[in-house]
Amino acid sequence: MSTIKAVFFDLGDTLVERNPEVNEEFIKLIFAALGNSTPSDVDLPKLRQRLKATERAIWNSYKPKELLKIQTLEDEKSFLSKDFYPAVLKRWGLDNPPQVLLDELAVRQLGPTTFQCFPDVNDTLARLKGLGLILGCVSNALPSAEGILQHLELWDSFDCLMLSYRSDCRCLKPNRGIHRKAMNGLGVTSGEAIFIDDRPGFVNPARRVYAQAILLDRDGSHPDEKCPKIEHLGRLFPLLDQENLKAGPTGIPFGQLPLYGARIRTEFFMSDKSAILTRFWGIFNNDFFRFCARLVGRYVMPGLPRTSMKHVLPIVTRLITLHPRR
């Protein structure tokens, strides 16, 4: 049975969020620029969600090479005031927002005091440290992230900070390279680490890298996602029990399998047969096997009927159990 040695977290909307009061100030500034009256307290929660969704959609529209150009706080301020917030405000009906508004939004976004920790963060990190676990942060971050981490006293909580803009990283999720760099920095293997993020688009690819990747769905906005989910960080601790560490809520239990050189309890989904092969990659730990496994998982296994799968999978499982990585 393997032991989980490290837990990696995303940063934004996983550990920290923008203060609700600041969101309300942003909305009031936008409404004033539109010439509308101040929204009522009843409407503010929906408007906050709309603003968050708009900002996330704009952020996701940028290519990695565009974001990796942002190296300093000055670069970030210029990006926010000249590119990001003009695109956000355009979706709110402001085609030519005043520069003073754009500058104010950018300055507020850059300020460390603009952000706060979620209520469950400090206790969770302290408990994980108390269990002797190594902690890491893997984030598609801009330079202002360092000030936020220091202001919220999170900087020293982590043994590894893999922030995408830094020279020691230079890649973004969902690229698995950022995860491998983080694990290499801490000297842990894939079978010894788990990852928590609030975005399914980052969690699902990470399931091929970690012993487990978990979706943090605080507001229940991803009911149809089949990956492992928790509603708050306190739910993480039962998953650290090796008997409960699984690849999903439903599937075919395989018992104790050697995964990335270690034995943990896991499951596989019949609906995603390629995941069966990719879960075995780390046993051989070479690019050629990964390439072959991808081809077999994509082109061969989907063509096998369910009856054949019942015969094939026990054989594969038995072979790997007999030949674990040393």
- Per-residue pLDDT tens digits for 191-221: 899 999 999 999 999 999 999 999 999 999 9
180 vs 186: CA distance, rounded Å: 10
pLDDT value for 2:
62
78 vs 112: CA distance, rounded Å: 17
Band of residue 298 on the pLDDT scale cut at 50, 70, 90:
low
Band of residue 293 on the pLDDT scale cut at 50, 70, 90:
low
Mean pLDDT for the chain overall:
80
**143-157, 218-232, 305-319, range with the lowest pLDDT:** 305-319
> Which residues 6+ apart lie within 8 Å of 289 measured at CB?
281
Band of residue 301 on the pLDDT scale cut at 50, 70, 90:
low
Residue 242 has pLDDT above 60, yes or no: no
DSSP 202: H
Residue 253 has pLDDT above 80, yes or no: no
Residue 99 has pLDDT above 80, yes or no: yes
The residue-averaged pLDDT of 48-67 equals 94
Band of residue 168 on the pLDDT scale cut at 50, 70, 90:
confident
pLDDT value for 66:
94
The residue-averaged pLDDT of 100-112 equals 96
The residue-averaged pLDDT of 261-284 equals 36
Q: Which structure tokens are listed for 48?
A: 């906050």
Residue 275 has pLDDT above 50, yes or no: no
pLDDT value for 259:
30
> Which residues 6+ apart lie within 8 Å of 90 measured at CB?
none
pLDDT value for 290:
53
pLDDT value for 239:
83
pLDDT value for 241:
72
CB atoms within 10 A of CB 62: 17
pLDDT value for 41:
74
Residue 16 has pLDDT above 90, yes or no: yes
Amino acid at 229: K
Q: φ and ψ at 65, to 5 degrees?
A: -65, -25
pLDDT value for 48:
92
Residue 3 has pLDDT above 70, yes or no: yes
pLDDT value for 304:
54
Residue 300 has pLDDT above 90, yes or no: no
**83-97, 100-114, 307-321, range with the lowest pLDDT:** 307-321
51 vs 116: CA distance, rounded Å: 17
pLDDT value for 246:
44
Residue 60 has pLDDT above 50, yes or no: yes
pLDDT value for 326:
39
